[in-house]
Chains A and B, each alone.
Chain A
Amino acid sequence: SQQGEEDPQALSIQEGENATMNCSYKTSINNLQWYRQNSGRGLVHLILIRSNEREKHSGRLRVTLDTSKKSSSLLITASRAADTASYFCATVASGGSYIPTFGRGTSLIVHP
């Protein structure tokens, strides 16, 4: 079963615009991770944010976490055509399972 659910399912923007994707989840988490996947190939880890953190940055990426609302967002600033990919959030539940549970993903298309 899917723990995290991304929203929107698909997003189409122009180069230079910002892209925001949201993830909602249901149970208490140890951490939440964001991944990128190009053309149905392997996933690339982007950012891990722990349950006691509220915001993290990595280059043009900004992730926020609101544990009271059980939600996270991924912001890509000044998007590029190369950012075109599917983006997944994955939650690791608290309690020691260590297994990340992935959502269905957001498909992002950045038009040059």
Chain B
Amino acid sequence: DAGVTQSPTHLIKTRGQQVTLRCSPISGHKSVSWYQQVLGQGPQFIFQYYEKEERGRGNFPDRFSARQFPNYSSELNVNALLLGDSALYLCASSLRQGASYEQYFGPGTRLTVT
């Protein structure tokens, strides 16, 4: 079975541009979460979606937005990119929303903002 997939693998953008990152969860998983991981830090929670509704939002500015589609795949959008947005963006899926449901992470998208 395929794991969580993310695209693209790497991305280079210029300050002020907009970027869209994509995530496909494991088949049957209905919950998708997004994390930002800056070099040398642990992942920071950005969004959680379950059954196509936003169920959680981390402490990120409104430049960050996301959505989940009927097939449970998800997109993360970041507008007006800043140098500080350079990071590894991780997507994780789980069967359902809930504290005890294990999250499965994708390989991430490495975003570099110049």
A residues apposed to B, CB below 8 Å = 1-2, 30-31, 35, 40-45, 48, 50, 88, 90, 92, 96-105
Contacts and interface: CB of A to CB of B under 8 A. Distances in A.
A30 B98 CA distance: 10
Nearest to B43: A102
Contacts of B99: 30-31, 92, 96, 98
B102 A45 contact: yes
A10 to B, nearest CB: 11
Interface string B33-52: 10101011111110010000
B88 A98 contact: no
Contact of A101 (B40, B45, B108): B45
Interface residues of B, number: 31
Contacts, number: 63
Contact of A44 (B39, B44, B58, B105): B105
A103 B42 contact: yes
Contacts of B102: 45, 48
22 contacts: A2-B41, A35-B105, A40-B88, A40-B110, A41-B108, A42-B4, A42-B105, A42-B106, A42-B108, A43-B90, A45-B102, A45-B104, A96-B99, A98-B99, A99-B33, A99-B48, A99-B56, A100-B45, A101-B45, A102-B35, A104-B41, A105-B42
B97 interface: yes
